[in-house]
Structure 1
Amino acid sequence: MTITRLYRRIDATRAYCFNIESSRTLNDQELDQLRLLLADGFLIDTVSLTPVLEGERVIEVGPRLNFATAWSSNMVSICQATGLDCVSRVERSRRYVVPESDDMTAFIAAHHDRMTECPYSEPLTTFETGIKPEPVYEVDLIGKGTDALLDLPGISMDEWDRNFYYDYFVKKHQRNPTIVEIMDLNNANSEHSRHGYFGGKQVVDGEEQEGTLFEVVKETLAAQPKGSLIAFKDNSSVVAGHEITTLLPKEPGHPSPLEATQVTYHPLLTAETHNFPTGVAPFPGAETGTGGRIRDVQGTGKGGFVMAGTTGYCVANLHIPGYDLPWEEQYPCPSNLARP
């Protein structure tokens, strides 16, 4: 694998560096093709082969090397769709000119996301980090019983779960599970995935309540189902729509003119809340929420597509310099959180 670096200036103090991993050295034609794909407004001269913004006061920050970003995945798809099959990863880093009055360390800390990014002390020549994954090992359920699961950090299985997996692996299959199997089961059985709490029996003061929390929520649909086409089917809910006139391609899947078409559309609304955590990585957190909302719409049924999106953000007190507001409380922001 080889790394090719291309550069695009943003302004006098900032620039992008595009780190392109390919299975072989790129020829001049392929480099020009990449320059067009990465250019500002398809102006090829905005992307150069030679470095921009160099010097002692220039720093570079970018994504952590052991995790390909969503931006890279999209860029690789574009490259391969245009015939650049040799490109396997493209990451975008940023260069800054640090003002003489600023401390270099403080500037770097303020201009990158420590959860998903890191400073580059020198130009990238490889995405390999040299870090080797921990070896897979067995969890000794045979020797230690269900208590072996209590010794694993990050495992949140209750007694019922621990007994269930002990019976499955030890009694049924006469073997120990691997740590990979246990971690995968732990994630799959999270409340987000299985809804064990909302779908389980509720016991209050020793008395079992009638119906689960999910059943209580669904009672409204059972009492008045009129107009509801899809409800509580995991992704989204759909209400009955009506026939409208809209513009659709004359030949879907091919370049074609749009024509007025009578179709019946059923509207749906889906909401997505996500915590990347957004307090640490606000932009990746927003991307995760947006992607989940789009996926839910398209996963509701055949023909589902996104018409519009709404966004709401809740942030802490902004503390804008010179703009004090009476309701803002003065408390220190933890150093590991992005400032609002």
Structure 2
Amino acid sequence: MILFFKGSKNIYYAVDSNKKINNADNKKLSWLFGNAVYLDKNILKGYFIGPRKEMITPWSTNAVEITQNMGIQGVERIEEFLKTENKNAPFDPMLQAFYKDLTEDIFTIDKKPDPTIYIENIKKYNKQEGLALSDDEILYLNEICDKIGRKLTDSEVYGFAQVNSEHCRHKIFNGTFIINGKEKKDSLFTLIKKTSKTNPNKLVSAYKDNVAFIVGPEVEQFAPETQDKADFFIVRDIDTVISLKAETHNFPTTVEPFNGASTGTGGEIRDRMAGGKGSIPMAGTAVYMTSYPRLENNRLWEVKTTPRKWLYQTPEEILIKASNGASDFGN
């Protein structure tokens, strides 16, 4: 069953429960949504923008967990919807959908899965999908087909391409180079590591974690005297190490700017905290480079260039949503 709550302004909440919610739990939900008003209706008329029914949002996951901690039983999903004046309101088609009325079936998925696709020609499929498989990898996959007695599916070939990509394996970056018939002693990665080995200077750690550290200043730390039990806080001088790390998150941010930039920020925080015995993120920066955003019509340098059709998001959408995403996760 679906319960509807009216929040502030044009915000509405839809609660999907597998059992009837009693009055006491109804009041808890109302409080949870900022004293939202419970609407005893099976349908809300109007135009709404909300998450796709097929995609449970992270917000919903957190909200459902909160209801469980509050002792409310049976809640399976909670989503937020924005009521709009008409059907022309802008929304992100990657994550959101437009709804004409909110009904009991807003979370009901009646789609049937597509049939399994078997790849007849892996070499052709590789080029068609831009998987960047090498000739050796294509040969290997064809041998697998012969070995198991069937063609590989599209998901199998695609999955293989991802886990064996340069990003994951560093096949080229860490591979052996044979130039003019002569095998080179060093890989590209080895050559890069040589710099820090030859001139370590103030380098403390590099290429051991997903972050490097240099010698930092001596600072005063205000912390518990011991960390294995409850204790008094004291001030002491400690030696520090510093990291300054950059990471691109281009493609995820291009496809879905908010979450792409969010996970980019999250990955940076994770890498710092996992360095050595653990470290503390102090500050983050974000740089955005896009094509011309064309926010105004009087910029001659933009007018001279013919705008292209964007496959995923426009430069303006990337600049706004990515900035929001990086800031949201980084807080």
Q: Sort the TM-score into its range (normalised by shorter chain).
A: 0.7 to 0.9
Deviates most, 272-281 or 88-97: 272-281
- Distance in 2 (alpha carbons) for counterparts of 1:249 and 1:75: 34
- Whether 1:37 aligns to 2:32 is yes
Once the two structures are superposed, residues 16-66 of structure 1 have per-residue CA deviations (whole angstroms, 9 ceiling, x without a partner) of 222333332322333333333332xxxx2xx22239xx998x521122221
Query: Which residue of structure 2 lines up, in the alignment, with residue 156 of structure 1?
Result: 132
- Which residue of the partner structure matches residue 26 of structure 1? 21
Q: Which residue of 1 aligns with 2:64?
A: 76
Aligned alpha-carbon RMSD (Å): 3.8
Q: What displacement does 1:182 show?
A: 3.2
Structure 1 residue aligned with 2:281: 306
2:65 paired with 1:91 = no
1:129 is matched with which residue?
A: 109
TM-fit CA distance, 1:95: 1.6
Q: Give the letter for the 1:67 counterpart.
A: M
CA displacement at 1:293 relative to structure 2: 1.8
Residue 234 of structure 1 deviates from its aligned partner by 5.8
After superposition, residues 1-340 of structure 1 pair within 5 angstroms as: 2-10=1-9, 15-39=10-34, 44=35, 47-50=36-39, 58-84=46-72, 86-98=74-86, 104=87, 107-108=88-89, 111-125=90-104, 126-136=106-116, 147-148=121-122, 150-151=124-125, 154=129, 155-167=131-143, 170-171=146-147, 179-202=154-177, 211-233=186-208, 235-248=210-223, 259-279=234-254, 281-321=256-296, 324-330=298-304, 331-332=306-307, 334=309, 337-338=313-314, 340=316
Instruction: In structure 2, list runs of 5 or more residues that go unmatched.
Output: 317-331
Secondary structure of 2:302's counterpart equals coil
Equivalent residue letter for 1:49: Y
Does the 8 Å contact 2:54/2:107 carry over to 1? yes
Tell me how far apart the structure 2 counterparts of residues 335 and 135 of structure 1 sit (CA, whole Å): 30
Shift of 1:198: 2.0
Tell me the CA shift for residue 312 of structure 1. Answer: 1.7
Q: Distance in 1 between matches of 2:180 and 2:111?
A: 51
Cα–Cα, structure 1 residues 204 and 83, in superposed 2: closer, same or farther, change >3 Å? farther
Residue type at the aligned position of 1:188:
V
What SS does the aligned partner of 1:184 have? helix
Cα-to-partner distance string for 1:105-139 (whole Å, 9 max, x where unaligned): xx33xx10122211112215342321233355666
| Partner AA of 1:295 in structure 2 | R
Distance in 1 (alpha carbons) for counterparts of 2:132 and 2:68:
42
| 2:11 partner SS | strand
CA distance in 2, matches of 1:87, 1:255: 37
Q: CA contact under 8 A between 2:17 and 2:74: conserved in structure 1?
A: yes
- TM-superposed CA distance for 1:261, in Å, is 4.9
SS in 2 for 1:192: helix
Deviations 1:236-288 (A, max 9, x none): 22223354323336787999986535544432233232235544532222223
| % identical equivalent positions | 28
Q: Structure 1 residues 249 and 55 mapped into 2: Cα distance closer, same or farther (>3 Å)?
A: same
TM-score, scaled relative to structure 1: 0.73
3-state SS in 2 of match to 1:6: strand
TM-score (normalised: structure 2): 0.75
Does the residue aligned with 2:288 lie in a helix, a strand or coil? coil
- The structure whose residues are more often helix, as a share, is 2
Aligned equivalents of 1:25, 1:250: Cα separation in 2: 51
Aligned residues: 309
1:5 is paired with a residue whose SS is strand
State how far apart, in whole Å, the 2-side matches of 1:117 and 1:257 are: 50
Q: By how many angstroms is 1:180 displaced?
A: 4.2
